Chains A and B, each alone.
Chain A
Amino acid sequence: MEIMVNGKPYEVADEPDRPLLWVLRDELSLIGTKFGCGIGICGSCDVHLDGNVTRSCITPLSSVRGKAVRTIEGLAGDGGLHPVQQAFLDEQVHQCGWCMSGQMMRAVALLEENPDPTEEELAATMNANYCRCGAYGRIRRAIVRAAGQMAAAEDPTSGGGGT
């Protein structure tokens, strides 16, 4: 069967029950999406399915048919890093980095849905993702920073530079 990942079609074995995570990692070599728990608790495997965050470790291939998959490898564009990636870099968020693809994918989905989340909305959303290194404070700051930059880029009167 064919699946669309980061705008590109891939031919993969038609095993409808196989979780998307292992297709991405082991068949397509998109190793940026990580395995953490296998039961949908930790969020290390988060990807987008038609723009919605999805735990790829418990998402069977059958439910991916006809949908657009986006992974960490698809975040950066021709203009460089996605504002969320840039903000994670600017805030020096990562420690070990294993959970961070999932964190960034969830943060991107949050800001695409809700460009100016309150602190409570931000925490409620990001509660879905574990960070064992304890970088939660920096993740929070990076998302606030990214929201500011994305808003500034949207607003032609601001000059697009953000802070």
Chain B
Amino acid sequence: MTERRGVQGNQAPDEADREWYISRRGFLIGMAATGTALALGIPLGLPPLRRAAARLTEGEAGGFASGTLDPLLWFEIYPDERVLAYVPKAEMGQGIHTALAQIAAEELEVAWEKLEVLHASTSQADDSFRGTSGSMSVATLYDPLRQAAATLREMLRHEAARKLNQSSEALVARDGGFEVAGDPNTRITFGQLVAGAVEWQVPEEDVPLKPASEYKFIGRSLPRIDLPAKIAGEAIFGYDARAEGMLYGAAVHRPTIEAKMRSARPGLTEGMPGVVKVVIEDSFAGVVAESRLQAWAARDALEIEWDEGYLWQQQELEDLVTAGGRGGVSIQRVGNAPSALKQGTPIVAEYRTGMGTHAPMEPQAALALVGPDGGKVWTSTQFEMTARRMVAEALDLELEQIEIIPTFLGGAFGRKIELDPVPSPAVEAARFSRAVGAPVHVGWDRFEEMRDGFFRPLTHHQFSAILNDGGRIEAMNHEQASGDALFGGFPQPVGKILGFDFGSTRGAQIPYAIPNRETVAWRRPMPIPTGSWRGLGLMANLFAIESFFDELAHAAGKDPLQFRLEHLPDDVLGQRIRAALEAVAAQAAWGRALPEGQAQGIACGTDGGTVVAEVAEISVDQDSGRIRVHQVVAAVDPGLVINPDGATAQIEGSIVMGVSAALLEEITVRDGRVEAGNFDRYPLLRMGDAPEVETILLEAPDGKPRGLGEPSIGPIAPAIGNAFFALTGIRLRRLPMTAERVQAALG
């Protein structure tokens, strides 16, 4: 099994100039123009595709229609036995192409090594909204992908039966072919079946899907299909995209948060080595040069006059993002917490989380080739359709005139979602390419990557709670404020109508069975661009809730694990959280005697139906204040697991990134500028400080797959903070828990 990628590699094969017609059951059947390949696509129930299907049926009812109306997800089978699966999902390290291949192979009965996964370009599968985010890829594609694969298999079976003069029921599907049960000599392959003119028939009824007990591909740790190319150094990422005669572009970005360009002049730039053209249009300025370093140097020499705008200071931003006052929206209300809290003296605490950046190892990059009638852009993006819109708008072209061809992503973590308020390398490369009439690559330097995007927002949390005589929580109130985690890129009315940003409130609701509980959220848009970061609000909210819950456990004189178990709701979700807590506690030997200077902390949470519980074991260097996380045990229940090793890798990665964010990483602002510009001011966790992560996969028996890329990043920060309290008796209430803050807390 392979994966073809890159400037040359991600295109559909030439022979597949597809023609689609819609079957009575809503599947799109495609034939290569040459008649030698069969394609089957599914509309996925998305409105734009329904529209596309309607156009097809209205135009040429029942007949073929040509065009670029590929469905969002489809297969192609070729006479040489290759089976291509076109998917609308970006491979950014999460192993999604492998997981989707496993799901497809399960019903298709294809030979694994013949199956290739391709990320469809925007012209191949036209839908106004598609993207890769929110740990939702497997959950949303699991059913439609299996249904399409099973339907295609039955179409092939029908043709095989006709060719072999057998009944369909007599045939067994295996490894990309059919044979009469017990007689391998009758074998006929998929490739043989699609060669030649065939009148394909879509089954009249829904094809029944396999029971999970018969799965051969799903549930196995099959190797990642994109790894061989990555091991060899041959995989093409956006930064690697190349074209004959390619030039390099570099654009000017604003120096301060609110800066506006007053004027731009070439200055001495045009005489600098390698400079091909200075491009100044609208409020955009940059340089195209023969090499990347020449472009960067010349860009820095442009004479730009800025209106710097207001020069924000960190404390002013912190003051903006404060819970309380007008504008709060109650997002969870059980019983009457405000009234119950008046019945005694509540325990109160206040938590904050600083800003963070994504720091994908591959900075933003794109290659564009634009002519008068439109063009193509190869880029590392999570949201190729948004990239297309942004490029089309910038060039004043129609959407259909721009094709975005997604490459591999060198990490993303929410950064590569094409947020409108921040510059996009796809747009920059397209502007430059149009200006010089040649392919232009834009690859940001680390300074741009770190400063010129958007950030995980500040958050603020105020808690009050009251215990009853039995040591149980009688009432708990969570007041939460956050900069935008999702709405930063949305038109403002959306956020105004809703009143809160549901990205910021991921994990904000109190999951415990407390008779009186309430969560109130304040949306506090910040002057600095903010947006999605792995898990969105999850890390900040679970840090606050799970730390405060730990405070309550200690106030009640209870073991933190026991206290959690005692407050779980008596429903399916509560039972799943209980199972995760008990599993992680058993594996970590919760409460065991630890070496001097070490302690354990526990935390849990749910995200998108996935349940996570984690135990962290830490120590603290008393002199430097540095927290060291030695070991983390995680129990994760995402429901059905497609690839256990891939799932484990996502959990390990979430936890290591979470430790890094919880202990080291903070973006701060001074005089209107982001202070960090590279890893010297924004260090990441290194191997020697990374914990050993032990993962327990639990699978809820409902057979539903759920997200894995983000949930595990939630409980790690509070697990560390709770361990710190167990070790020192001091509560850390701000992320990140840097050495300086710990030192100050230790006095």
Report A's interface with B, CB cutoff 8 A.
18-19, 22, 25-26, 29-39, 41-42, 44, 71-73, 76, 81, 85, 88-89, 92, 94-101, 104, 123-124, 126-127, 129-140
Which chain B residue lies CB-closest to A130? B684
What chain B residues lie within 8 Å of A44 (beta carbons)? Answer: 361
Q: Mark B618-652, 1 if CB is under 8 A from A, else 0.
A: 00000000000000000000000000011001001
What chain A residues lie within 8 Å of B446 (beta carbons)? Answer: 36-39
Stretch of B223-231, B311-319, B477-485, B739-747 lying at the A interface? B223-231
Q: Mark B357-368, 1 if CB is under 8 A from A, else 0.
A: 001111100000
The binding surface of chain B is classed by DSSP as loop
CA A99 to CA B693, docked complex, whole Å: 20
CA A76 to CA B242, docked complex, whole Å: 24
27 A-B residue pairs with CB within 8 Å: A30-B233, A31-B233, A32-B234, A34-B410, A35-B239, A36-B446, A39-B678, A73-B233, A94-B230, A94-B231, A95-B93, A96-B362, A96-B412, A97-B226, A97-B408, A99-B361, A127-B688, A130-B361, A130-B679, A132-B411, A133-B653, A134-B655, A134-B656, A135-B653, A136-B685, A137-B652, A140-B687
Cross-chain contact A124 with B688 (CB below 8 angstroms): yes
Report B's interface with A, CB cutoff 8 A.
92-95, 223-224, 226-228, 230-237, 239-240, 242, 248, 291-293, 359-363, 408-413, 443, 445-446, 645-646, 649, 652-657, 660, 678-680, 684-688, 690, 692-693
Cross-chain contact B657 with A133 (CB below 8 angstroms): yes
With A32-B234, A134-B652 known, 6 other A-B pairs at CB within 8 A are A41-B678, A94-B227, A95-B411, A98-B411, A134-B656, A135-B656
What chain A residues lie within 8 Å of B93 (beta carbons)? Answer: 94-97, 133
Cross-chain contact B678 with A134 (CB below 8 angstroms): no
B293 to chain A, nearest CB (A): 6
Cross-chain contact B692 with A130 (CB below 8 angstroms): no
Cross-chain contact B679 with A37 (CB below 8 angstroms): yes
**The 9 nearest A-B residue pairs measured at CB:** A32-B233, A134-B656, A98-B410, A96-B93, A95-B93, A72-B233, A97-B230, A134-B653, A136-B690
CA A101 to CA B239, docked complex, whole Å: 15
What chain A residues lie within 8 Å of B223 (beta carbons)? Answer: 89, 92
A137 to chain B, nearest CB (A): 6
Question: Which listed residue, A32, A37, A89, A131, touches B227 by the CB 8 Å rule?
Answer: A89
B233 to chain A, nearest CB (A): 2
Most B C-beta atoms less than 10 A away, residue of A44, A95, A101: A95
CA A124 to CA B570, docked complex, whole Å: 48
A70 to chain B, nearest CB (A): 12
CA A72 to CA B693, docked complex, whole Å: 29
What chain A residues lie within 8 Å of B690 (beta carbons)? Answer: 134, 136-137
CA A33 to CA B228, docked complex, whole Å: 16
CA A30 to CA B242, docked complex, whole Å: 11
What chain B residues lie within 8 Å of A25 (beta carbons)? Answer: 240
Cross-chain contact A34 with B239 (CB below 8 angstroms): yes
CA A104 to CA B232, docked complex, whole Å: 10
Cross-chain contact B688 with A123 (CB below 8 angstroms): yes
CA A132 to CA B690, docked complex, whole Å: 11
Question: Which listed residue, A34, A126, A139, touches B362 by the CB 8 Å rule?
Answer: A34
Cross-chain contact B362 with A98 (CB below 8 angstroms): yes
Supposing A96-B93, A97-B235 touch, asked if A135 and B688 sit within 8 A by C-beta, the answer is no
What chain B residues lie within 8 Å of A19 (beta carbons)? Answer: 293
A152 to chain B, nearest CB (A): 21
CA A118 to CA B655, docked complex, whole Å: 25
Cross-chain contact B232 with A76 (CB below 8 angstroms): yes
Most B C-beta atoms less than 10 A away, residue of A25, A95, A96: A96
How many residue pairs bridge A and B at CB < 8 Å? Answer: 159
What chain B residues lie within 8 Å of A42 (beta carbons)? Answer: 361, 679
What chain B residues lie within 8 Å of A88 (beta carbons)? Answer: 231
B297 to chain A, nearest CB (A): 11
CA A88 to CA B231, docked complex, whole Å: 8
CA A45 to CA B655, docked complex, whole Å: 25
Which chain B residue lies CB-closest to A124? B688
CA A100 to CA B235, docked complex, whole Å: 11
Which chain A residue lies CB-closest to B358? A132
Cross-chain contact A98 with B227 (CB below 8 angstroms): no
What chain B residues lie within 8 Å of A89 (beta carbons)? Answer: 223, 227-228, 231
What chain B residues lie within 8 Å of A131 (beta carbons)? Answer: 361, 687
CA A129 to CA B688, docked complex, whole Å: 10
Supposing A72-B232, A92-B649, A134-B652 touch, asked if A41 and B291 sit within 8 A by C-beta, the answer is no
Which chain B residue lies CB-closest to A89? B231
Which chain B residue lies CB-closest to A74? B233
Cross-chain contact B686 with A127 (CB below 8 angstroms): yes
A101 to chain B, nearest CB (A): 5
Cross-chain contact A134 with B657 (CB below 8 angstroms): yes
Question: Which listed residue, B233, B409, B686, touches A96 by the CB 8 Å rule?
Answer: B409
B445 to chain A, nearest CB (A): 6
B714 to chain A, nearest CB (A): 15
A68 to chain B, nearest CB (A): 18
Question: Which listed residue, B230, B361, B687, touches A36 by the CB 8 Å rule?
Answer: B361
What chain A residues lie within 8 Å of B688 (beta carbons)? Answer: 123-124, 126-127
Supposing A22-B293, A34-B239, A89-B228 touch, asked if A127 and B655 sit within 8 A by C-beta, the answer is no
Supposing A95-B94, A134-B690 touch, asked if A31 and B240 sit within 8 A by C-beta, the answer is yes
A123 to chain B, nearest CB (A): 4
What chain B residues lie within 8 Å of A133 (beta carbons)? Answer: 93, 411, 653, 657
A72 to chain B, nearest CB (A): 4
What chain B residues lie within 8 Å of A137 (beta carbons)? Answer: 652, 656, 690, 692-693
B649 to chain A, nearest CB (A): 6
Cross-chain contact B231 with A34 (CB below 8 angstroms): no
What chain A residues lie within 8 Å of B237 (beta carbons)? Answer: 98
CA A30 to CA B413, docked complex, whole Å: 27
CA A98 to CA B235, docked complex, whole Å: 9
Most B C-beta atoms less than 10 A away, residue of A88, A92, A129: A92
Supposing A31-B233, A88-B231 touch, asked if A135 and B652 sit within 8 A by C-beta, the answer is yes
